[in-house]
Structure 1
């Protein structure tokens, strides 16, 4: 039986949506995931074992630390992580929870001092289906925002314009970390 040339025969009825197909994201979606038990495969277990500059660690606390995001949405995008390899916020101890919150506030204050953002996105994605890239190790995103910081480049060119190197941002945030 000959195949139809009409695209509607293959895609169904048109629904009015334009679609941007991103099959390159499947590498990320189906990629290797850190060992649920932690260890060398987990970037958040590995970072604290390196010097701050190499591990991109901005600040270390007793129970938690702050690290630069390797795939930032904006310059200064940091992650607050417990040292302990734990997946869920509800599984943090009371001491970990208190420091997790304090370091999130510290990250906001350091970013305000270092780069004067106009706003912030704060959030946790728990579980792979919720968008967590490293679902096995809890982390909270602190993303500074400025008016006009989003543009067409990520969509059209699969490119994000970043005006500062991660190492430079890490140094600046460490310098501006609240006492």
Structure 2
């Protein structure tokens, strides 16, 4: 018997209408931080929760400018991107207490970038057992905490905690 697990947030991404223009540029322009799950806005980058996370607490650090190629990032943007990545790691470790983390950038569509035209760095908290049979065999991930609840946990620390 085949069993199915329903993950409605993935259906919206897979079947929903594709956004015209750049998702990250729209989020940067809009001042709807709570609706868009923006945790922090800096001079050169912003930190946003992934609306379609691999696991709870999946964050992205995104340049404010539309840049696809890492080698074209201005130095000040590169420095702020790394600083905010470090700060996000510190906050995630303190608030969500993952066992480990993955950090990475997918450059180009073939590498897995969902928004290949706008560079962004993923920060993915990891817990023991989060790569169990469901993700390996069933191609399904269980995200046990809602985006809104994780946002509420993280938004204040992003305004208060420095390195």
The residue aligned with 1:150 is: 131
Are 1:98 and 2:98 matched, yes or no? no
Residue segments in structure 1 that go unaligned for 5+ positions in a row: 1-26, 35-39
Tell me how far apart the structure 2 counterparts of residues 161 and 107 of structure 1 sit (CA, whole Å).
22
The residue aligned with 1:77 is: 58
* Partners of 1:86 and 1:92 within 8 A in 2: yes
The residue aligned with 1:123 is: 104
After TM superposition, give the deviation of residue 51 of structure 1 in Å: 1.8
Between 1:162-171 and 1:59-68, the stretch displaced more is 162-171
The residue aligned with 1:140 is: 121
After TM superposition, give the deviation of residue 50 of structure 1 in Å: 3.1
The residue aligned with 1:44 is: 24
When normalised by structure 2's length, the TM-score is 0.81
Tell me how far apart the structure 1 counterparts of residues 39 and 31 of structure 2 sit (CA, whole Å).
12
After TM superposition, give the deviation of residue 152 of structure 1 in Å: 2.2
Q: Which aligned pairs between 1:10-89 and structure 2 lie closer than 5 A? A: 41-48=21-28, 49-89=30-70
Tell me how far apart the structure 1 counterparts of residues 106 and 62 of structure 2 sit (CA, whole Å).
13
The residue aligned with 2:88 is: 107
Tell me how far apart the structure 2 counterparts of residues 94 and 158 of structure 1 sit (CA, whole Å).
38
Residue segments in structure 2 that go unaligned for 5+ positions in a row: 1-12
Tell me how far apart the structure 2 counterparts of residues 169 and 151 of structure 1 sit (CA, whole Å).
22
Larger CA Rg, structure 1 vs 2: 1
* Partners of 1:77 and 1:143 within 8 A in 2: yes
Tell me how far apart the structure 1 counterparts of residues 119 and 152 of structure 2 sit (CA, whole Å).
24
Tell me how far apart the structure 2 counterparts of residues 78 and 151 of structure 1 sit (CA, whole Å).
22
When normalised by structure 1's length, the TM-score is 0.74
Tell me how far apart the structure 1 counterparts of residues 74 and 58 of structure 2 sit (CA, whole Å).
25
